[in-house]
Chains A and B, each alone.
Chain A
Amino acid sequence: MADLLGIGKSGLNVSKKALEVTGHNLSNVNTEGYSRQRVMQSTAIPVSVGGFVQGTGVKVDGVRRFNDEFIDKRLNTALANNKFYEARTEHLEQVENIFNELDSDGLNQVINKFFNSFRELANQPENETIRSVVRDNANLVIKDFRRIRGTLDTQSGNIDRKIQNSVADVNQLLRHIADLNGKITTIEAAQGETGDLRDQRDMALRNLSENFKIHTYVDEKNRFIVTAQGIGTLVTGLHVQELGTVTQNKNDSSNGMNGSVEVVLKDRPSQKITDLFKGGTLAAIIKVRNEDLKKLQNDIDGIAYQFTSSVNSIHRQGFVNRQITIGADGKPAAVDHKGLTTGLDFFKQPLSVEEAGNEIDLSDSVKADLSNIAAALSPNAPGDNRVAIAISKLQHERISGDGSVTLEEKYLQTIGNIGLETGKARIDSEQATGILAQANSLRERLTGVSIDEETANMIRFQQAYQASAKIMQAADDMFKTVLELKR
């Protein structure tokens, strides 16, 4: 009868453990990354008594975690892709907002106004008021070029800071993974349960995947090796190769901007790996910064350069709107009391294409005196409007892109491109979200906790517990019967 008591006790034990695990599952129903667990049980080793094989009850083999590493890998890849397009869409949408001028006066409209004010000046080149309108409109153009170029720079700078934060996050995750690698090995060496720690490690890998695409292998001690394509091994067992950031100047940076933040391996700070990341937010923001923003900055600079230099080259041929003394040789005086009488720039002549969008400004002479706005091609001809006409005609001249497009076409192409890129990113992002949702639900179906299922199990284990207790009670009754024999 002692064996009956033992069998009953083993049943109680297993049922109690099963109920505990059920409780653990239920309490973690909303824990992110939790995989449901289940008690593995088997019959205890039978003994042979008097030629009979006799069962000895049940025993707990261990607690198993439901998990499939292929599903996890698929999820991580889907996550990296999704985060890539999500971050790309988010940043490109911010960029396209700079160029949203369907109903507002954006650069295109102010440049249009600028050229039209020269047309107005051509009507009445004698009129000083129109000259001031021309100057005001030119100032609006300058302001808008600087707004666009400045906002692009700001966004680039914001991404720099994001890269730094992202790298700090990544390092923390890498250390966390290595740390968990160590704990799991130690506990498993002592036959301990590591389901929850493995969940945490999977979770850390998933968080890492949000930053960039990773590959994982498992070594003989169940430790994870984490690599990233093109970058190398980041975690090997307990060892971590951390990332670092350096700030570089214009010539060394990957986007041609001063103070650009570049990613390096901490041990090799001289070797940039900024452009090597694939997938995830890090690759997305770097791509936006190094490709999209850089291209826009170059385009805007190119447009600003073309615009100011071509206006200047015509303006220089004109004469100021003042009485100029004609010398004995019939040539007009080159200088008068207000300065040069011809050869004046309208805009400050940009030194190079680079930064032309930031450095655009009126020339000092136009700032100083309205009569320095030259509308006339001949001296002392206040009614001569040929320079004003010629400047206004630049609007429709193919002076951009090696003489293939007008400034407006070039600018509209730029906006068209950013619109296309943003639209594409948005569609890709929607798709990637769908794929991620699918991968997630695939994982959740296997590893997720179902309250209904656990409730059913709870009843099952509770009843098994009660039944085992009844066996013990029966054994007890049997003892009592035997003990009462003596009375």
Chain B
Amino acid sequence: MTRVSENSSTASLQYALNKTKAKVEDLQLKGSTLKAITRPSDNPVSNVEAMALTSSTNDNLQYLKNADFALLNLSVSEKSVEELTDIIVKAKEIAIAQSSDFFNADVRKNVANEVQQLYNQALAIANKKVGIKHIFSGTSTLTVPFDGNGNYKGDKGHISLEVSRNFFVPINLTGEEVFYNTTDTVKAENPLEKFDQFKDAPSVKLNRDLASVESEGAKVEGAEGTEDGFKSRDNIFSQLQALTSALENNDPQMIQGLLEKFDNTVSRLVTLRTRIGSITNSVESSKNNLSNENIEHASRRSALVDADVTELFSDINKQQAILKTTYQASQGLMNQSLMDFLRR
């Protein structure tokens, strides 16, 4: 028969009490935070996964911001190209009307003023800003892209934004690409191309160029093989200027000659608009994906970190009942000895 000593019974009682109390304490902490994990060691794997999910969610929120910013730039560019198209269409209508011998020099002089207005509008569009940024000056965004004579002061830089992980979209057209009828476009490059650090990186997806001619196949007629001197004249501003001077000089022949150029310009602008539109769409759809992904992240994180409330509180009740029973059992054990019964 095993002996029971005073210390062995108190020790076993203390052990039982401690164990139950530790469990109650742990459950109560979980109950007050409603979290299944309160420290890394509770579940190292879930803890680490939850932290990675938080970062990923934060990244996505930033990508959403980037996407909104890209959309802002793209929509301003699209709107500008649209307005520009309207101006050229209007100029073309004027040119058609004035290309016959129906009008005389006085009328043409008056109309020339109207074309001058169109020129000014075109210039205003060319120098449009988003925030402090001129959208048509390449990467020299703080430089006014066009002077009064329609000379381009910006550069040929393209700006890309990462709108979701490894998915870059171009957000700008340079002034040259929009206003000049030129094949001399710089292909938008992978923004990481120049960094040795990313040589081995998985290929970055780059959305199709906004303006590069070679990617499109359709070539701009009349612009091919032109000499530099001519090229610089063959732009929207020079076309409008040419129309103005033709009108002022009362030269229907020259006006007629401009018609084809206006046509080319309009079709080129329409192409640009379409491309901007398609990029806008892809940004929109990537935004949708990001939002969906974040919802998935949130539910996965909750599954990892949040406590199952029903289970938790039934556990708390159970442990508290056990604790109570232990107390009651100890009451009988601690306060009685043979002495109590020998007293007379």
Q: Report A's interface with B, CB cutoff 8 A.
A: 29-30, 36, 92-93, 96-97, 99-103, 108-109, 112-113, 115-116, 119-120, 122-124, 126-127, 310, 313-314, 317, 376-378, 380-386, 389-390, 392-397, 399, 408, 412-413, 415-423, 426, 433, 437, 440-441, 444-453, 455-456, 459
Contacts and interface: CB of A to CB of B under 8 A. Distances in A.
Given A383-B138, A448-B8, 8 more contacts: A30-B7, A103-B35, A113-B58, A119-B66, A382-B141, A383-B172, A412-B48, A452-B337
B305 A408 contact: no
B6 A376 contact: no
Nearest to A455: B338
A249 to B, nearest CB: 33
B139 A382 contact: yes
Q: Is the interface of A mostly helix, strand, loop or mixed?
A: helix
A433 B11 CA distance: 12
Nearest to B61: A116
Given A383-B157, A392-B162, A437-B15, A415 B52 contact: no
Contacts of B54: 108-109, 112
Contacts of A420: 41, 44
Among A381, A420, A451, the one with the most B-chain Cβ atoms within 10 Å of its Cβ is A381
Interface string B329-343: 000000001110010
A390 B133 contact: no
A448 B5 contact: yes
9 tightest A-B contacts by CB?
A: A448-B5, A419-B44, A419-B40, A383-B141, A444-B8, A381-B139, A422-B41, A423-B41, A384-B139
A317 B65 contact: no
B62 interface: yes
B157 A102 contact: no
B159 A450 contact: no
Contacts of B192: 386, 389-390, 393
Interface string B187-199: 0000110110110
Contacts of B45: 416
A142 B157 CA distance: 34
B55 interface: yes
Given A376-B139, A384-B157, A415-B47, A450 B342 contact: no
Contacts of B42: 419, 423
Nearest to A456: B338
A119 B62 contact: yes
Contacts of A455: 337-339, 342
A393 B65 contact: no
A123 B43 CA distance: 38
Interface string B126-147: 0000011100011111100000
Among A127, A399, A420, the one with the most B-chain Cβ atoms within 10 Å of its Cβ is A420
A124 B342 contact: no
A102 B141 contact: no
A319 to B, nearest CB: 11
A452 B159 CA distance: 90
A412 B52 contact: yes
Contact of B55 (A112, A123, A441, A451): A112
A397 B5 contact: no
A390 B40 contact: no
Nearest to B172: A383
B59 interface: yes
A384 B52 contact: no
A123 B132 CA distance: 12
B142 A116 contact: no
B55 A386 contact: no
Among A113, A441, A453, the one with the most B-chain Cβ atoms within 10 Å of its Cβ is A441
Contacts of A399: 197
Interface in B1-46: 2-8, 11-12, 15, 35, 37-45
A272 to B, nearest CB: 31
Contacts of A449: 5-7
Contacts of B157: 378, 381, 383-384
Nearest to A99: B40
Interface string B64-104: 01100100000000000000000000000000000000000
B165 interface: yes
B220 interface: no
A182 to B, nearest CB: 29
Contacts of B35: 102-103
B165 to A, nearest CB: 7
A29 B142 contact: no
B123 interface: no
A126 B190 CA distance: 20
B40 A416 contact: yes
A408 to B, nearest CB: 6
